[in-house]
Amino acid sequence: MPQNTLSNEFLSTLNTHKVENQPRWNKFNLFKADKPLQFWLRKFDGNWAEDRLINLGKFYGDQGVEEGELANNYPPEFVSHDRNGHRIDTVSYHPSYHRLMDFAVSNQIPSLPWQENKQGAHVIRAVMEYLHMQADAGSGCPLTMTFAAVAALKHSPKIAQEWLPKITADRYDGEDKPYYEKQGVTIGMAMTEKQGGSDVRANTTYAEPISKAGNGEVYRIVGHKWFCSAPMSDGFLVLAQAERGLSCFLMPRWTPEGQKNHFQIQRLKSKLGNKSNASSEIEFRGASAWLIGEEGKGVRTIIDMVSLTRFDCMVGSSALMRSALFHALNFTSQRNAFGKKLIDQPLMKNVLADLALESEAVLALSMRVAHALDNRENESEKQFTRIVTAIGKYWICKRAPHFIYEAMESIGGIGYVESNFLPRLYREAPVNAIWEGSGNVQCLDLLRVMLKEPETIESMLKELSSQQGIYEKYDQFLDQTVRLLAVSENIEFRLRIIVDHLAKAIIASTLIKYGEAQVAEVYCEEKLFRNGESIGTFSSDKWVDYLIARSACQLIVS
Should residue 271 be labelled a site residue for ligand FAD when binding is judged by CB under 6 A?
yes
Should residue 431 be labelled a site residue for ligand FAD when binding is judged by CB under 6 A?
yes
Q: Do residues 152 and 292 lie in contact, with contact meaning Cβ atoms separated by under 8 Å?
A: yes
Should residue 114 be labelled a site residue for ligand FAD when binding is judged by CB under 6 A?
no
At its nearest, how many Å lie between ligand FAD and the CB of residue 399? 16
DSSP characters for 389-412? HHHHHHHHHHHHHHHHHHHHHHHG
Q: Give helix then strand counts, H and E, for the chain.
A: 20, 11
DSSP 8-state secondary structure symbol assigned to residue 414: G
Distances (CA, A) of 250 to 166, 232, 302, 424: 14, 14, 10, 33
Count the residues in the chain.
Answer: 558
Options 127-135, 189-197, 336-344, 469-477: segment touching ligand FAD (CB under 6 A): 189-197
Binding mask 388-427 for ligand FAD (x = CB under 6 A): ----------------------------------------
Should residue 276 be labelled a site residue for ligand FAD when binding is judged by CB under 6 A?
no
Q: By CB under 6 A, name the one of 191, 348, 411, 507 that touches ligand FAD.
A: 191
Q: By CB under 6 A, name the one of 440, 465, 468, 480 that touches ligand FAD.
A: 440
**Residue 237's beta-bridge partner residues?**
189, 250
| Residue 6 burial class via C-beta count within 10 angstroms: exposed 0-12, middle 13-18, buried 19 and up | exposed
Q: By CB under 6 A, name the one of 111, 156, 186, 229 that touches ligand FAD.
A: 229
Should residue 197 be labelled a site residue for ligand FAD when binding is judged by CB under 6 A?
yes
Should residue 307 be labelled a site residue for ligand FAD when binding is judged by CB under 6 A?
no
Dihedral sign (CA 371, 556, 54, 174): positive
Which lies closer to ligand FAD via its Cβ, residue 229 or residue 288?
Answer: 229
Q: By CB under 6 A, name the one of 434, 450, 484, 549 that touches ligand FAD.
A: 434
**Residue 265's beta-bridge partner residues?**
282
Which lies closer to ligand FAD via its Cβ, residue 210 or residue 272?
Answer: 272
Which lies closer to ligand FAD via its Cβ, residue 195 or residue 466?
Answer: 195
At its nearest, how many Å lie between ligand FAD and the CB of residue 374? 27
Contact residues for 317 (Cβ-Cβ < 8 A; gap 6+):
362, 396, 397, 399, 400, 429, 432, 433
Which lies closer to ligand FAD via its Cβ, residue 123 or residue 239?
Answer: 239
Should residue 514 be labelled a site residue for ligand FAD when binding is judged by CB under 6 A?
no
Of residues 404, 551, 548, the one with CA closest to residue 33:
551
Of residues 398, 389, 456, 391, the one with CA closest to residue 430:
398
At its nearest, how many Å lie between ligand FAD and the CB of residue 439? 6
Options 259-267, 364-372, 431-439, 481-489: segment touching ligand FAD (CB under 6 A): 431-439
Should residue 206 be labelled a site residue for ligand FAD when binding is judged by CB under 6 A?
no
Q: Tell me the residue ranges of DSSP E strands in 340-450.
A: 340-341
Q: Do residues 248 and 295 lie in contact, with contact meaning Cβ atoms separated by under 8 Å?
A: no
At its nearest, how many Å lie between ligand FAD and the CB of residue 97? 16
Should residue 251 be labelled a site residue for ligand FAD when binding is judged by CB under 6 A?
no
Q: By CB under 6 A, name the one of 189, 278, 292, 365 that touches ligand FAD.
A: 189
Q: Which residues of 476-487 are buried (b: 16+ CB within 10 A; e: fewer)?
A: ebbeebeeeeee
Should residue 439 be labelled a site residue for ligand FAD when binding is judged by CB under 6 A?
yes
Should residue 70 be labelled a site residue for ligand FAD when binding is judged by CB under 6 A?
no
Which lies closer to ligand FAD via its Cβ, residue 30 or residue 268?
Answer: 268
Should residue 203 be labelled a site residue for ligand FAD when binding is judged by CB under 6 A?
no
Binding mask 29-68 for ligand FAD (x = CB under 6 A): ----------------------------------------
The residues in 441-460 that bind ligand FAD, with binding defined as CB under 6 A, are 441, 444
Q: By CB under 6 A, name the one of 55, 92, 119, 198 that touches ligand FAD.
A: 198
- Residue 305 CA to residue 153 CA, distance in Å, equals 9
Which lies closer to ligand FAD via its Cβ, residue 229 or residue 323?
Answer: 229
DSSP characters for 58-108? HHHHTHHHHHHHHHHHS--EEEEE-TTS-EEEEEE--HHHHHHHHHHHHTT
Which lies closer to ligand FAD via its Cβ, residue 238 or residue 351?
Answer: 238
- Residue 374 CA to residue 382 CA, distance in Å, equals 10
Q: Do residues 432 and 397 lie in contact, with contact meaning Cβ atoms separated by under 8 Å?
A: yes
Should residue 26 be labelled a site residue for ligand FAD when binding is judged by CB under 6 A?
no
Q: Footprint of ligand FAD on this chain (CB under 6 A)?
A: 188-192, 196-199, 227-229, 271, 274, 279, 431, 434-441, 444
